[in-house]
Amino acid sequence: MKYTLFLGCFIPVRLPHIEAVARGVLPQLGIELADVDGFTCCPEPVGFLTDRMTGLAMAARNICLAEEAGLDIITLCNGCTYTLKQANETLKADAALRARVNDVLSETGHEFKGTVDVLHFAQVLSRRVGLDGIKAVVKKPLTGLRVACHPGCHILSPPAVLGFDDPLDPVVLDGMVSALGADPVDWDKKTGCCGWTLTNYGEREAANRLLGAKLDAMHAAGADCSTVICPQCFYQFDTGQMLAARELKLEYKVPTIYYLQLLALAMGRSLDESGIRQHRVKDPALEERLGRLVA
């Protein structure tokens, strides 16, 4: 399985330790990653609603680079997946729109043909590698670790395009966590937005209340940590939780761990190698426990 690795902006700029983990662990599951020069922002799904044609053409240009390399795209981010998949499926299905977008692209030397697929790494892991394939690389099962899974809005909806899971009752990420030997917990507010976009473009106070409600629900379910598959969700639950802790008068911490970091731990990587120590929300008791599990 060989893919072009589409990093987007958030991970390489703000969370490079997640890029490093992805590059380290995915090849060990048979996922070969090819770097393509010239990828740009996907573009960002909310901002480019102000100009749909530009947004579509920029997304199509990114897809063209993968087409020219003859490889499907693998992403590490829900937002990138949402933008690229919607553009890809819409342009494959609508010949008139495709012609307009290709006209816009004409001066860049690219042409959208519709020959590749866009997949989130969680789709590749759950479907193409499969849960048995994940289990096969687990050396240190994360036994007893209680994890609240937050798949995030933009990998779930619209389901006809994203094709990942049931948006009202998602279970795929839970299965991926079970494959690592950990225990996914059942928690209220699992499908609610993380609030990152609300922090950025809306009202920070509202975003904090939303974050507080989600963290309360995770804590009430007895979660040791949460896991996410999107850098925006990660940032909100990590840096966002740290920033909001005082305003929300939080009396507990729910650290978040990117799924690929959990996978790295289960494959026997240390906490340092998995990048866990770079996180803002630190829980020494959890770190000690994880340290024991992977020792």
Binding site for another protein (CB under 8 A): 9-10, 12-14, 16-17, 19-20, 23, 35, 37-38, 40-41, 43-54, 57-58, 61, 82, 86, 89-90, 93, 103-105, 107-108, 110, 153-154, 156-158, 160-161, 167-168, 189-193, 195, 197-198, 200-203, 205-207, 209-210, 213
Q: How far is the CB of 281 from another protein (least distance, A)?
A: 18
| Shortest distance, position 188 Cβ to another protein, whole Å | 8
Using CA atoms, how far apart are residues 191 and 212, in angstroms rounded to an integer?
15
Q: Which is nearer to another protein, 3 or 82 (CB)?
A: 82
Nearer to another protein, 31 or 190 (CB): 190
E strands, the chain, are 2-6, 32-34, 72-75, 118-120, 146-150, 183-184, 225-228, 256-258
Quick check: 156 and 135 in contact, CB under 8 A? no
Closer residue to another protein in complex, CB, 49/295: 49
Q: Does a cis peptide bond (omega within 30 degrees of 0) precede residue 45?
A: no
At residue 32, what is the residue type?
A: E
Element (H, E) at 284: helix 284-294
Kindly state the smallest distance separating residue 139's Cβ from another protein, in Å. 23
- Considering the complex, state which of residue 93 and residue 136 has its C-beta at the smaller distance from another protein: 93
- Per-residue buried b or exposed e for 72-105, using 16+ beta carbons within 10 Å of the residue's own CB: bbbbbbbbbbbbbbbbbbbbbeeeeebeebbebb
Smallest distance, another protein to C-beta of residue 135, A: 28
Alpha carbons 112 and 90: distance in angstroms, whole number: 12
- Residue found by looking up tokens 């007893």 in the block: 144
Which is closer to another protein, CB of 200 or CB of 239? 200
> CB-based contacts of 70: which residues, under 8 Å, 6+ apart?
115, 116
Identify which of residues 95 and 160 has a Cβ nearer to another protein in the complex: 160
CB of 278 to another protein, least distance (A): 9
For residue 158, is the peptide bond before it cis, meaning its omega torsion is within 30 degrees of 0?
yes
Query: What's the min distance (Å) between Cβ of 39 and another protein?
Result: 8
Least Cβ distance, residue 44 to another protein (angstroms): 5
CB of 222 to another protein, least distance (A): 20
Question: In the complex with another protein, which residue's Cβ is closer, 201 or 288?
Answer: 201
Write out the two tokens for 76: 């590490």
* Separation CA 157–CA 248 (nearest Å): 29
Smaller CB separation from another protein, 193 or 294: 193
Helix (H/G/I), strand (E/B), else coil: 256: strand
Q: Where are the alpha helices (DSSP H) in 124-179?
A: 130-137, 153-156, 159-162, 172-178
